Amino acid sequence: MPENAAPSFFASAATTLAVALGCGLLVGIERERRKGSGPGRAMAGLRTFALVCVMGATTALTQVSGLVVAGAAFVAALGVVAYWRDRSDDPGVTTEVALLLTYLIGVLCVWSLPLAAALAVGLTAVLEGRERMHRFARHWLRPAEVRDGIVLAALVLVALPLMPDRPFWGPVLNPHLMVQLLALLLAVQSLAHLGRRLLQARHAVALSSLASGFVSSTATIATLGLAVREGRSGARLMAGGGLLSCVSTQLQLLLVAAAVQPAWLATLWIPALAAAALAALWGVWLVRGAPAETELGAMSTPRVEGLPTAGSERMFSLRGAAAVAALLTAIQVLVHALTLWLGQAGLYVGTLLGALADLHSALAAVFATRPPAGPAGLAVVLALAVHALSKSITAALTGGGRYVAWLAPGLWAHTLLGAALLWFLSS
């Protein structure tokens, strides 16, 4: 080693060993608190974890791969012996596994100090959260939620990577994007379900409307309108819930754009977030200002096709999400076919027809087939206007005049705001 390189090497080695010592002490402090005392105490505590982490860094600094492997084997053997000698009623292997991982963290310090430190903090957090994690897994999670979580994980981790990422007809019918959309819908429904469980009935109307809006804002507005017509709730409160479902519509526009064509996000994110913020503020104002006597009948979650009911243990409806994903794909195919047949006019006709059925399906077709400028921007603006008109007519037919009178101003205000910003940014 050159003489001028020696100080640099020793400084780097000292830093590495210091970080390794800190990582070992961090994990060791947590284990020391659970180690116990007397003959039945656990195998490793503060000093052991600190020394093992420093040992990992030292073996890695020697740059002798065989020595690193020998150290890992030694620590693993210690864990096996400790487990074999454990006579407690619940002989887990958490400490033994944590000790081996701490050794590897020490080894990792030689290559990346930030990553090693982050891993040590994460390991300590997992060890410290033992009781809360056990309560979450054993008592809070329901069996159906566990099954749904496994299905979602299999879809994302197994099915999605296996799907071919290429369209079979022009820019549409891409299997990878179709499965990605399905996974996105299921994930949104799962988050909405878990959020509804956490907050429970305190803001049932607002939360259930937000959750249902990710499946169908139009159906949510219709359901809330029926509650008004049947006298089960007041028009103002239900109109506030309907506007909050429009927040989900705007947010889902961004999710669909991210899944189908991320290039659209640069143009879409400001209009969508501005419209969502206005709808949220207007909706919260309506909900908070609703007369207290109208709240009792409104605390039940609206039943929307594709989303589980409030009392259901299911996190999502796989059939409903698959139907929505199929509709998204079908309208993409329709818009592409009309565009090939009629040119630019076909793009407008297909988008407007699609917006009458489902806004996200129609816009997904535009996102997939056109860049965010010119005719495509106008098509999105027209689709937003047609969709707002469809919601207004639905509200009038289901909830009557008072319901649509409370809903329509906020509905059209946030739609026109988003459309104006989008037209300005895309022109």
SS3 169: strand
In order, the DSSP letters of 346-373 are: HHHHHHHHHHHH-HHHHHHHHHHHS-SS
What per-residue confidence (pLDDT) applies to 296? 38
Residue 366: is its pLDDT beyond 80?
Answer: no
pLDDT tens digits, residue range 54-92? Answer: 999 999 988 887 888 998 898 888 878 777 766 555 556
Average pLDDT, the chain: 76
Give mean pLDDT, residues 202-218. 69
pLDDT exceeds 90 at position 127: no
Place of tokens 């400001």: 270
Distance CA 266, CA 419 (A): 15
Q: What is the mean pLDDT of residues 183-204?
A: 62
> Bridge-partner residues for 172, per DSSP?
169
Question: Residues 6 or more apart from 178 whose CB is under 8 A from it?
Answer: 163, 325, 329
Q: Which of 287-301, 337-351, 391-405 has the highest mean pLDDT?
A: 391-405
- Rounded to an integer, what distance in angstroms lies between the CA atom of residue 338 and that of residue 241? 36
Residue, of 335 and 182, whose pLDDT is higher: 182
Percent of the chain with pLDDT over 70: 67
pLDDT in tens, 32-61: 887 655 554 556 678 888 999 999 999 998
Residue 279 predicted with pLDDT over 80:
yes
Q: Measured between alpha carbons, how far apart are the two ends of the chain, in Å?
A: 63
pLDDT at residue 108, rounded to an integer: 92
Task: Provide the pLDDT for residue 348.
Answer: 56
Q: How far apart are CA 155 and CA 147, in angstroms?
A: 12
Does residue 30 have a pLDDT over 70?
yes
Rounded average pLDDT over 254-258: 81
For residue range 281-334, list pLDDT tens digits in order.
999 898 888 775 444 343 344 444 444 444 456 676 677 667 656 765 675 676
Assess whether pLDDT exceeds 70 at residue 94. Answer: yes
Q: Which whole number is the average pLDDT over 163-178?
A: 73
Contact at 8 Å (CB) between 340 and 374?
Answer: no
What per-residue confidence (pLDDT) applies to 21? 92
Nearest Cα residue to 391 out of 243, 254, 286, 251: 243
Distance CA 354, CA 376 (A): 14
Who wins on pLDDT, 139 or 362?
A: 139
**Residue of higher predicted confidence among 365 and 128:** 128
CB-based contacts of 221, cutoff 8 Å, min separation 6: 242, 245, 391, 394, 395, 398, 407
- Confidence band (pLDDT; 50, 70, 90) for 191? low
- Residue 250: what pLDDT? 87
- 358/165: higher pLDDT: 165
